[in-house]
Amino acid sequence: MFLDIILNFSYIDTSNQIYYCLFSMKVDYIALSVPVFFILIGIELAYNFYKKFNYYRLNDSISNLSQGIGQQLTGIFMKTALFFGYKYIFEHWRIFEMPKSVWVWILLFIGVDFFYYWFHRMSHQVNALWAAHIVHHQSEEYNLTVALRQSWFQGWFSWVFYLPLAFVGFDPIMFLTLSSFNTLYQFWIHTRAIKSLGFLEYILNTPSHHRVHHGSNPKYIDKNHAGTLIIWDRFFGTFQKEEEDVYYGITKPLASWNPVWANLHYWDDLIKTAKRSPKITDKINVFMKPPGWFPQHLGGFQHAPEIDKQNYRKYNPEYQSKLTGYVLVQFIIALAAGSIILFSYTKMERLSVISGAAFTLCTLTACGALLDQKSWLVKFEYSRLLLSFLLILMLKLPVGYQVIFAGMQLISVIWFFNLKKDNPQPNEN
């Protein structure tokens, strides 16, 4: 998004049309950013193999990338509504008319980073916000694919924290440009390949600082919330230096590769806890208090447990090795389908966008279920493959694309049938 905004900003005048450019923007930023992400992932992966590290696992990486694809697709249906709030306040209630000088850009950069810090910190201290943010922390690995592991619902909450910038009078396009930069900056810090950056560790958020943030070690929890500048954590008392080995993930492991469940499981926990609480105040506090909070009748606050290093095991269920190729092909199909939608959704009928996005998310869910070896995956996969033929007609693709897509799905049906003939029964859960 950042590069696309920059390209568009160069020829957009300062009239009221500037505020509507977001709605007319294409998804070129996907084409500009995604290749760079995958190139950097490829470099890190090659380094991982060269050094014989174990920074990557296929199941974990597919899960991370699935969350990223899902976040982009669900974002199609909410980004306009979310931007409207900032735009509306800027147009009707701004206090100042901020010029577009270099100093205002610098000031806004600091402001965006400041409010990101508080949004991020609150996402770790309020259960309702943590339910959306937790997705980003579920991976038990730490590599560049984790940067793309994003919540499908976090956007509904994050934009509210930036509204003071709209009241002050910072232009929406300037805000989008710098908030996008803030997001893009954080991609490269999700790596174990870079150990330290010397004096820059005192100013910038670095891989070392962010590894701490992703740790489930008690001393690392709720530390280093910075986006670009680590100075906020140092100033507000949430800084923690990387010292002991980091154990990644959440204190109660997700133990699933299902992207849908990854986004819903903590909401499910909160709702169940609220139902078990007879007092209205406790029901409200379940969502407003920090993670680990429980009413007194359920045992009170539960602190993060110490890491049992002797018995620590990452979630890594066994599955038939022959499934690897099938899962990879289905994931690539989902990636291709998602990319087509993201490139073309402004020119597509609404029903086509919805059905295409649903197919992509179902395919990603099927990949997760295959890796989890869930008992329901067989019926689900056959249903998904058969319904995909209807999708071909709904999307109104050119005949050539229809033939290719139908052929791929037919091959998938035959392939999956042969795999399941010799595959042991999946897990009964």
CB 212 within 8 A of CB 241: yes
- The residues, ordered by sequence, that sit 6+ positions from 134 with a Cβ below 8 Å of its Cβ are 151, 250, 266
**Tens of pLDDT, residue by residue, the chain (429 residues):** 333 333 333 333 333 443 344 433 443 444 467 789 999 999 999 999 999 999 999 999 999 999 999 998 998 887 766 778 899 999 999 999 898 899 999 999 999 999 999 999 999 999 999 999 999 999 999 999 999 999 999 988 899 999 999 999 999 989 988 998 999 999 999 999 999 999 999 999 999 999 999 999 999 999 999 999 999 999 999 999 999 999 999 999 999 999 999 999 999 999 999 999 999 999 999 999 999 999 999 999 999 999 999 999 999 988 777 889 999 999 999 998 888 888 788 888 888 888 889 999 999 999 999 999 888 989 999 999 988 887 877 766 678 877 888 888 899 999 999 988 766 555 555
- The residues, ordered by sequence, that sit 6+ positions from 156 with a Cβ below 8 Å of its Cβ are 78, 82, 132
Q: What pLDDT score was predicted for residue 405? A: 84
CB 426 within 8 A of CB 366: no
Q: What pLDDT score was predicted for residue 6? A: 32
**Location of structure tokens 């993670």:** 291
* Token pair in block for residue 267: 């909401």
Specify the 3-state DSSP secondary structure of 305.
coil
Q: What pLDDT score was predicted for residue 402? A: 79
* Token pair in block for residue 322: 């022959």
End-to-end CA distance of the chain: 40
Domain boundaries, the chain: 2-236, 266-298, 323-422
d(CA 349, CA 346): 8
Q: What pLDDT score was predicted for residue 19? A: 39
d(CA 125, CA 120): 9
CA distances 93 to 81, 97, 153, 170, Å, are 18, 11, 27, 12
d(CA 153, CA 48): 32
Q: What pLDDT score was predicted for residue 157? A: 87
Q: What pLDDT score was predicted for residue 352? A: 83
One-letter identity of residue 230: I
* Token pair in block for residue 137: 């922390």
Cβ neighbourhood burial of 85 (10 Å; 0-12, 13-18, 19+)? middle
Give the residue among 359, 368, 320, 388 at the shortest CA–CA distance from 73. 359
User: Model-level pTM?
Assistant: 0.89
